[in-house]
Amino acid sequence: MLFNSYEFIFLFLPISFIIYFYLTSKRLITASKGWLIFSSLFFYSWWNIAYLPLILISILFNYSLSKSLIEFKEHNKNYISKKRLLQVGLILNISLLIYFKYMDFFISNTNFVFNSEISLLHLALPLAISFFTLQQIAFLIDSYEGLVEEKNFLDYTIFVIFFPQLIAGPIVHHAEMMPQFSSRWNLVKNYKNISAGLFIFSIGLFKKVVIADAFAQWANLGFTNSATLNLLEAWAASLSYTFQMYFDFSGYTDMAIGAALLFNIKLPQNFNSPYKATGIIDFWQRWHITLTVFIKTYVYTPILRSFSRITFTKAMFATFAAMFISGLWHGAGWNYIVWGSLHGVALVINHHWQKRKIKMNKILAWFITFNFVNVTLIFFKASTLSQAMEVLNNMITGNIVLYHSLDSVLSFLTPFGVHFGTVFTHIGEKPKTLVYIIIAFIIILAFKNSNELTEKFKASKYSLAYIFTLFIVAISMLSNFSEFLYFNF
Amino acid sequence: MKNKLFSKLFISLSLVVMFSMATFNYFINPYKVFNHNYFSSYIKTRDHQASHRMTLFYSAVYQNPESLLIGTSRMGILPISEPKKYMPNKLFNMWMPGGTIEEQTHLIKYMIAKFNIKEIVWSLDFHSFNPELANDPNFSYNRVDPNAIYKDDYNLALFGYQTTFNSIKTLKDNLKNFKLNHKTTSKQKIEKSLKTKKQTVTLGNGWDEKVNSISNDEIDIQTKKQLIHYPEKYLRYRTFNNPKSIQSNLTKVEEIINICKKKNIKLHVYTSPVSQSFLNLYKEIGLQNTFVAWKKDLSKVTSYTDFCTLNSITKEKYNFLDGSHLKPSLGYLIYARLFHDNSVNIPNDFGIFIEKKN
């Protein structure tokens, strides 16, 4: 079930909410948690019930293992050491991810290298596998490290499967989630949270339906016609995807945060105006923040700790390796690896600059950062590396075509290879693409982000009029709903 | 304002707006998605569609057809009155502009699964076999899946500003007609009706009758436009010049042939005629080998009547509206050939029967 669907907004969410708080009002706490789990499982199964056993087995296995790790007592009678127990858990979790997500990638590369003909498995990627696997790996590691105190099975299950964050994050940490599920303060309807939740949910819905979906059509057409784009079309296509990605993913996160707030659960912030970043380090502190924290805690730090002596060079190696893995986590394809590696290299360069205390003009720094993000996202979007190169090539060497109407004023540019005609033919012949791009730049640079707005939110007739307008506009454009980009990861 | 009041006001206002919108759209039913007859004496025309494919689908479904015409706009433009002479039982023209073989075969399978279909006329276009030709964005696999619970069209038809605007437009159109019928004298009625007829009398297939009286100059302009637009939209892809590229779509056609055989459904397959300039175009852009292979391989799958040749009709460019769509006034020739009507004088070389080669 999609957040941006009528059945979610008008049926699933209200029913889940009403029954949950009815049960809590009757002090049926276990039943209310059971209801939350049931509704989350229903939400998950809406797409494909076939993968329901997989997530249930994964939860049961990881919960049992983590319980063993928490209660593990070192003595001679143990058949297996605590460290080995953790390793088994990690290997099984990662194997599950590799099997479903990366098997075909490995097979096709093996076929390419060894000229073999091993058949591809064509497995459908179970929804949310990347997210629930990461969260449970973190829980296992922390159980091993002795950092886990909560071990209630219902709370653990809700932590993994709570529907607002289940499909595409934010990637939540047990330490910030499980206490919220077990807190009695959260079992009472809180109208401050409800109004704030409705507020941020409406903003997210608007971002997704009105802004991201408009950019999606131009980005999709542009990348489909990658070989024939002119220079302006290539830039419009890549910028459309860059904006689509932000408004889509941050819109989803806003809706997740809003839906969770209705249940008095505070999900972590995932975006903090990332396109205002003036450096790539700054960017990763603002973009998909929960993934950055996860990668830093559970990938970067262990790599660094594996060295006997930490040096700057080794830290940079760990940075690059972490971003390489982050790229691979996003998808089984060379384009994702290239994307992750480019960001790894950029982070290393940025760290070098910081170490040498090189200062740059802020506007220039923003310009370089934004364009770097824009260019690297081409690899993220493209289905093949050659398609990415076609878009990139046309962004540099594509034909310069300007509007017919400019012919009389700018005809002196014709000898320099400038043509006059229809500019956006290959991305839908919509001049409004340009208008949308300008508006998007204004929104990302001049406006406060949804978290900042929610923090300052106060119930008033103005805020009511504001979100009611956003909500009704978004709802009336919902009919052609589309999936969120991060559902594919 | 208190948070409790804020939340309650927001939820109630949203529900009131949504419920009003859905009720209004349900009763006006601009896309004919709901099978009801409320206000049928007031709302008689519904000309503001969300997509041709959607309205056509529900119109067909609610008619419970027994005979079908399947094809693209080349079939859609031909008046349904002609095939009705030969297939009088609940005939429906399910044409889809630019329909791919994928779309057509899914639709045929759905109609066969859901209704008691006895006879089908299937018009095949060469370009529909291009494997890289994308399905229309308004085509939905779920809509034509007999086992799926499909709700997207109902959502679209109930909610959304576009649907509401279309409901308002539909209401306005019908109010105009209502006024015309009730507030004018008999003389005014006749005059207005004549005026209206001149503008809107259709062939029962969505195409204006004025296309039959199109001037030769206009045909020249349209043909020139089509010769640029058509190859860009339908033919210029990376693999279509390889004759083997049509195989995947031929397999889909074969599947339909087998289903029809199994279900004892009479199937008439034909290749739609295009003008000489279009036949030359295939050669000019390197598709001749694929074109030849298309006909040859099609004969391995089924018998068919081949109108897509250089013949007395296709040699004359003014027999077509734009080089690729036969004039509706000549549609009778195709059906007369398909149904072996000896009372009609058909040029001998128009429509050659190709027997299936085993």
R_g of chain A computed on alpha carbons: 24
Residue of B nearest to A481 (CA): B152
Residue A477 is given by DSSP the state T
Query: Which residues lie below 8 Å from residue A309, measured CB to CB, with a gap of 6+?
Result: none
| CB atoms inside a 10 Å sphere around CB B76 | 24
Top residue of B4, B7, B18 to mutate, by most chain A CBs within 10 Å, is: B7
pLDDT on residue B208: 57
**Which residues of A fall within a CB distance of 8 Å from B3?**
191-192, 194-195, 459
Q: CA nearest B304: which of B263, B258, B338, B260?
A: B338
Q: How confident is the model at residue B357 (pLDDT cuts 50, 70, 90)?
A: confident
- The predicted model gives B200-216 an average pLDDT of 59
Of the candidates A330, A352, A404, A426, the residue annotated as catalytic is A330
B3 vs A7, A191, A477: nearest CB? A191
Give the pTM. Answer: 0.79
Tokens linked to A314: 């080794």
The alpha-helical segments, DSSP class H, found in A382-483 are 385-397, 407-410, 432-446, 450-455, 461-475
Residue of B nearest to A209 (CA): B160
Is the omega angle on the peptide bond into residue A14 within 30 degrees of 0, that is, cis?
no
DSSP-derived secondary structure for A37-64:
HHHHHHHHHTT-GGGHHHHHHHHHHHHH
Catalytic residue list contains A351: no
Q: What is the pLDDT of residues B317-335, one digit of tens each?
A: 899 988 889 988 899 999 9
**Which residues of A fall within a CB distance of 8 Å from B151?**
7
**Which residues of B fall within a CB distance of 8 Å from A198?**
7, 10-11
| B352-354 and B304-306 strand pairing | antiparallel
Exposed e or buried b for every residue in A151-161, given b needs 16+ CB within 10 A? Answer: eeebbbbbbbb
Query: Which residues lie below 8 Å from residue B334, measured CB to CB, with a gap of 6+?
Result: B78, B82, B270, B273, B307, B326, B351
pLDDT on residue B212: 66
* Cβ–Cβ gap A475/B18 under 8 Å: yes
Residue of B nearest to A225 (CA): B237
Minimal Cα–Cα distance from B208 to chain A, Å? 27
CA dihedral sign, ordered A24, A29, A31, A36:
positive
Minimal Cα–Cα distance from A104 to chain B, Å? 23
Q: How confident is the model at residue B235 (pLDDT cuts 50, 70, 90)?
A: confident
Containing H/E element for B225? helix B216-230
- Reading chain A (489 residues) residue by residue, the pLDDT tens digits are 888 888 899 999 999 999 999 999 988 989 999 999 999 999 999 878 888 899 999 999 999 998 888 887 766 566 778 888 899 999 999 998 888 888 888 898 898 888 888 888 777 778 888 888 888 998 898 888 888 876 788 888 998 899 998 887 788 888 888 888 888 888 888 999 999 999 999 999 999 999 998 898 888 888 888 888 888 889 999 999 999 999 999 999 999 999 999 999 999 999 999 999 999 999 999 999 999 998 998 889 989 888 888 899 999 999 999 999 999 888 888 889 999 999 999 999 999 998 888 888 999 999 999 999 999 999 989 888 888 998 999 899 877 777 777 777 777 777 777 777 777 777 776 668 888 999 999 999 999 999 899 888 898 999 999 999 999 999 888 866 555 555 555
User: What residue ranges do the domains of chain A occupy?
Assistant: 6-189, 197-278+360-488
Between residues B63 and A9, the one the model is more confident about: A9
Q: What is the pLDDT of residues B117-176, one digit of tens each?
A: 999 999 999 999 988 888 887 888 888 888 777 778 888 888 888 889 889 988 888 887
**Which residues of A fall within a CB distance of 8 Å from B19?**
none
Residue of B nearest to A476 (CA): B160
On whether the CB atoms of residues A271 and A290 are closer than 8 A, the answer is no
Binding-site residues on chain A for chain B (CB distance < 8 A) = 6-7, 10, 191-192, 194-195, 198, 459-461, 463-464, 467-468, 471-473, 475-480
A476 vs B11, B151, B160: nearest CB? B160
Q: CA nearest A198: which of A262, A252, A264, A263?
A: A262
Minimal Cα–Cα distance from A479 to chain B, Å? 5
